[in-house]
Amino acid sequence: MSSRIAHAGLRAKITSAEEAATFIKNGMNVGMSGFTGSGYPKVVSQALADQIEATHAAGDPFKIGVWTGASTGPELDGALAKADGIGFRLPYSSDPIARDKINRGEINYFDMHLSHVAQIAWEGFLGPLDTAVIEVAGITPEGDLIPSTSVGNNKTWLDQAKQIILEVNSWQNLQLDGMHDIYYGTALPPNRVPIPLIRPDDRIGQPHFRCDPAKVVAVVETDSPDRNLPFAAPDANAKAIAGHLLEFLKNEVKQGRLPPSLLPLQSGVGNVTNAVLAGLMDAPFENMTSFTEVIQDGMIDLLESGKLLMASATAFSLSPAMAERLNRDASWFRDKLILRPQEISNHPELVRRLGCIAMNGLIEADIYGAVNSTHVMGSKIQNGIGGSGDFARNAFVSIFMTPSTAKGGAISAIVPQVSHVDHIAQDVQVIVTEQGLADLRGLVPRQRAMLIIENCAHPDFRDALKDYYERALRGSFGQQSPSLLTEALSWHQRFVETGSMRP
Amino acid sequence: MSSRIAHAGLRAKITSAEEAATFIKNGMNVGMSGFTGSGYPKVVSQALADQIEATHAAGDPFKIGVWTGASTGPELDGALAKADGIGFRLPYSSDPIARDKINRGEINYFDMHLSHVAQIAWEGFLGPLDTAVIEVAGITPEGDLIPSTSVGNNKTWLDQAKQIILEVNSWQNLQLDGMHDIYYGTALPPNRVPIPLIRPDDRIGQPHFRCDPAKVVAVVETDSPDRNLPFAAPDANAKAIAGHLLEFLKNEVKQGRLPPSLLPLQSGVGNVTNAVLAGLMDAPFENMTSFTEVIQDGMIDLLESGKLLMASATAFSLSPAMAERLNRDASWFRDKLILRPQEISNHPELVRRLGCIAMNGLIEADIYGAVNSTHVMGSKIQNGIGGSGDFARNAFVSIFMTPSTAKGGAISAIVPQVSHVDHIAQDVQVIVTEQGLADLRGLVPRQRAMLIIENCAHPDFRDALKDYYERALRGSFGQQSPSLLTEALSWHQRFVETGSMRP
């Protein structure tokens, strides 16, 4: 008991989750740890949700602002959303209960670039950060905090919050201590300096968070797993997408446009990117590196195989089986993994300098290459932009991947005009579906349209796209990016009305 | 004669514009100097246009790819477009003849982020750069080139081109020699390092371009003015916009969110930004700096007044009267002005580090804050995205400004949904029209809609916007960013059909 809390003063603050949660009051802004289902508080958030429900039952208001790294788990977003306890949420959410409430207008959801979060919290226009609730793996004798399986914005929350609640989670493997790299060199302008990171494996910070013990009001002990969900095995579509992409990368190496070890890989989370990572196991690239947001199963496989030398990210997002493997060989992995604050993992300066190969998913792309990553049918948010904008604009090669249809073929991922834009065509260099790959670099909109329709659209929608485009070539107001204003969003409207984009 | 060409070997290559132009052949990619009407070649381009016309008259094909810094002048874009000599154009164009041909689909126009141009030229997927045509102010005895009134991508064109044609323009003031800062430290990944610029006035390079004399095939002497156009005096709308913006900046200083000297200013070109700069003459900010793309009249006034300590950019864009003032006191201004390659002036790493205050114009914004900077009615390109994306995403405060209506009130600059997106809502923090200012920071889409309609829309369109938004709140598929798919672009369609967005 309490063996992970080596600081006497903080050990004296050990209390129950219920007691700790009472420090959080209606209207507070609360900065919580957590990124992609790892390293989020598990018990204080649940106890807080219970207290919010009780308060509501008594007829009193109780809503808070929830700031995190990114998505969390059911004990946090799920429980608080269910309790109607979230008034304002940033910067990313993927919880199904929260999503429903956001899309009913019941939660104010601020969907933002993940690299910008720390900066705007410092700026102060969101109001003060009242409380930080941070999961850690342990506390050193000096009172420094051993980070957990995500770093996210924890450094900023700990620095900015008026009061701090710590969850010390003994489920987390202490052997990962030393893996983190917490950089304290950021500042607001005009006091910013170059970030001294030149290679993905550079360590520029320290392994632990600083923490003012006087601000800690409660320490809670837990032994709870992260929300580690099994990945589905890649299906035929994912494998086809991976195949096209690997051919493209091989050709780039052959043409001398990429080095044989590629450039640092960034990949979004999901089955398609996991299929790409699986494909890299058999691809002729050696000594690869990764500078990304999240370390998922495929990266661990690549590390073990020796194809990938190291991976830098801000969080894990592993299946339970892979989390077990990581825990079993934690000391071996520790030297090959670096978790950083998300202002560093996603920093435009670093993404541009390193020349990342960015691989992200999408909801829909249009025939000119603009990408919608967030809003289904233009208005209903799925998750959020996350770090995709940080990477896509600054990457050396910006790749977006998707199956060409969704909802059993009712939705085409390639549409005349996207119903919402997250990535402008200038930031989308390659689009890949199971049908093929469109290399859009250097192409003007009319050329992009032909290539995307031919190479990426599903055959069931290809003729309709061609028909739209050819009529736009005749009827458009201008011919730089031909469009028919009355039809540009008609496929989405048809889906809303009929449940299918098919005519 | 020839006094500006101090290198004997290059002096031996002096020839006529007509002779020089013969080195350029059908199908070549030609990298030309020029940015916003300054520093572009004036006579070789015109002679080339004549030769293209003669070739076409003889029934033979003759088109080239034209790569520049940004827009140029009538002797280049205008003459070549008129001659049907441009097959492919990047990265920016504002020439009216070229615009017409682009919008008829007769010129392939690659509209791109200005900070990315040098990188993609290095990468090679656009094909080799066959020829560089560069205006310079002079040639040193060592064969180095004294830059002219814009730097743009000249460094890259000189390094990459197989053959080089130089125009030595004696109209340019040699006293500006020493003002330029040509940084040779960029590279392709994985060989990139931090750019060692921490303050806007840091000099990190050298004053002259390197140039391999063996690649120079022709040197042409000219005495021709830049395309310096008079600015219209700010009208009432521009003054009102400036007034709202200055109030905002004053309040940011008062709230402690900006220092009293502000942060380095970036401003697009035009009457509205010139009005803002004029307003800064009487505002309580001292010791300001500018880190921007283009130095326009208002910046020179601010420098002379002492309110602005220095300005860094990649080019001038001055009125004839202001160009004369600059020439008269060139040595005084030289120490306060720095012209850099546009990969540096617009570099995301530097814009983010310095924390620029970005002030850019727009064509239209929607009620959620997305901005269209390029495509009129979604398909007809006006100029291009230019550097606005480089600055808007990475700025500390990203401001977009516009009169609330255009075309004598027929067009509303605030629309239900923009017909094309260049800047996603996440990159648009403040919108200003003559009606007022909307500070969108920290607001979710539904809050942004109310504020933009109330504060920024013209009263003539305000009720229609409210009506749309309120019906979208009831009829939208999702409520994160409520929209009516059948009406979202209907204002644009009405304009195309009737010449007015008014119902």
Say if residues A371 and A402 touch (Cβ distance below 8 Å): no
- Provide the chain B residues 429-488 that lie in CB contact (below 8 A) with chain A: 441-444, 446-447, 472-473, 476-483, 485-486, 488
Q: What is the mean pLDDT of chain B?
A: 96
The mean pLDDT value for A18-46 works out to 97
**Hey, what are A234's tokens?**
């890649």
Asked if pLDDT for residue A270 goes beyond 90, the answer is no
**Cβ–Cβ below 8 Å for B198 and A193:** yes
For residue range B382-398, list pLDDT tens digits in order. Answer: 999 999 999 999 999 99
How many whole angstroms separate alpha carbon A394 and alpha carbon A112? 17
Residue B51 to residues A15, B47, B62, B85, B394, Cα–Cα distance (Å): 85, 6, 9, 10, 44
Chain A neighbors of B353, CB-CB under 8 A: 189, 192-194, 349
Omega within 30 of 0 (cis) for the link into A189: no
- Entry pTM: 0.98
Q: Give residue B307's pLDDT.
A: 97
Taking the CA atoms of chain B, what radius of gyration do you get in angstroms? 23
Residue B182, amino acid = I
* Contact residues on chain A for B194, CB-CB shorter than 8 A: 194-196, 198, 349, 353
- Min Cα separation A455/chain B (Å): 19
pLDDT tens digits along B97-148: 999 999 999 999 999 999 999 999 999 889 999 999 999 999 999 999 999 9
Chain A residues close to B389, C-beta within 8 Å: 393, 424, 426
Q: Which of A416, A400, A398 is nearest to A461 (CA)?
A: A416
Strand partners, B136: B147
Mean pLDDT across chain A: 96
Burial class (CB in 10 A: 0-12, 13-18, 19+), B429: buried
Looking at the complex, does the CB of residue A424 fall below 8 Å from at least one CB of chain B?
yes
The yes-or-no verdict on residue A18 having pLDDT over 90 is yes
Q: pLDDT digits over A488-501, tens only?
A: 999 999 999 999 99
Collapsing DSSP to helix, strand or coil, A121 comes out as helix
B377 touching A, CB under 8 A?
Answer: yes
Chain A contact for B13 (CB, 8 A cutoff): no
Residue of A nearest to B476 (CA): A379
Write the DSSP string, B327-346. Answer: HHTHHHHHTTEEE--HHHHT
Q: What pLDDT is attached to residue A32?
A: 98
Q: What is the rounded distance in angstroms from the CA atom of residue A197 to the CA atom of residue A203? A: 7
Q: Which of B485, B493, B495, B501 to mutate to test the interface with A (most CBs of A within 10 A)?
A: B485
- Asked if the model's pLDDT at residue B159 lies above 80, the reply is yes
Residues 6+ positions from A135 with CB-CB distance below 8 Å: A33, A34, A39, A40, A41, A42, A148, A166, A167, A168, A169, A172, A222
Burial of A161 (0-12, 13-18, 19+ CB in 10 A): buried
Nearest-CA neighbor of A26 among A106, A131, A126, A122? A131
Mean pLDDT for the stretch of residues B39-50: 98
Looking at residue B105, its pLDDT comes to 96
Residue A230: pLDDT over 90: no
For residues A243 and A275, give the distance between their C-alpha atoms in angstroms, rounded to a whole number. Answer: 9
> Cβ contacts of residue B69 below 8 Å, gap of 6+?
B33, B34, B35, B36, B39, B92, B114, B117, B150, B151, B152, B153, B154, B314, B315, B342
Residue B1 reports pLDDT greater than 80: no
A204 vs B: CB within 8 A: no
Query: Residue B503 burial by CB count (10 A; 0-12/13-18/19+): exposed, middle or buried?
Result: exposed
Give the per-residue pLDDT at A2: 63
Which residues 6+ apart lie within 8 Å of A332 measured at CB? none
How much is the average pLDDT of B395-423?
Answer: 98
Give me the phi and psi of B10, to 5 degrees please. Answer: -75, -30
The span from the CA of A431 to the CA of A438, in Å, is: 5
pLDDT band with cut points at 50, 70 and 90 for residue B2: low
Contact A199 B190 (CB under 8 A): yes
Q: What is the DSSP letter of B126?
A: T
Burial B120-144 (b: 16+ CB within 10 A, else e): bbbbeebeebbbbbbbbbbbbeebb
Residue B229 contacts A, CB cutoff 8 Å: no
Coil, strand or helix: which one is B64? strand
Query: For the complex shown, is ipTM > 0.95?
Result: yes
CB atoms within 10 A of CB A217: 18
Residue B379 CA to residue A449 CA, distance in Å, equals 13
Residue A326's contacts (CB-CB under 8 Å, 6 or more residues apart) are A173, A300, A316, A318, A333
Whether B480 and A375 lie within 8 Å, measured CB to CB: yes
| Dihedral, CA of residue B387, residue B393, residue B394 and residue B395, to nearest 10 | 80
Cα-based torsion angle of the residue sequence A436, A441, A442, A448 in order, rounded to the nearest 10 degrees: 40
Lookup: tokens for B377: 């009615």
**Token code pair at residue A77:** 């977003």
- Kindly indicate the confidence band of residue A503, based on its pLDDT and cuts at 50, 70 and 90: confident
* Largest CA-CA distance found in chain A, in angstroms, rounded: 77
Tell me the C-alpha distance between B474 and B482, whole Å. 8
Cross-strand bridge partners of residue B166: B134, B219
Query: How far is Cα B256 from Cα B262, in angstroms, rounded to an integer?
Result: 10
Q: Is A110 on the interface with B (CB under 8 A)?
A: yes
Give the DSSP per-residue string, A271-291: HHHHHHHHHHTTSS--SEEEE
User: Is pLDDT of B353 > 80?
Assistant: yes
Beta partners for residue A163, in sequence order? A131
Percentages of chain B per state (helix, strand, coil), in multiples of 5: 35, 20, 45
- Between the alpha carbon of residue A203 and those of residues A197, A476, B347, the distances in Å are 7, 53, 24
pLDDT tens for residues A381-420?
Answer: 999 999 999 999 999 999 999 999 999 999 999 999 999 9
pLDDT, tens digit, for every residue of A415-442? 999 999 999 999 999 999 999 999 999 9
In A, minimum Cα distance to B423 occurs at: A424
Chain B nearest-CA residue for A444: B110
> Which residues, including other chains, have CB under 8 Å from residue A420's CB and lie 6 or more apart?
A372, A374, A375, A378, A379, B481
CA pair distance A363, A343, nearest whole angstrom: 25
Check A485 against B496: CB less than 8 A apart.
Answer: yes
Task: Quick: pLDDT tens for A282-313.
Answer: 999 999 999 999 999 999 999 999 999 999 99
Tell me whether residues A375 and B478 touch, CB distance under 8 A.
Answer: yes
Taking each helix axis from N to C end, the angle separating A459-475 and A445-455, rounded to the nearest 10 degrees, works out to: 160
Residue A1 clears pLDDT 60, i.e. is over it = no
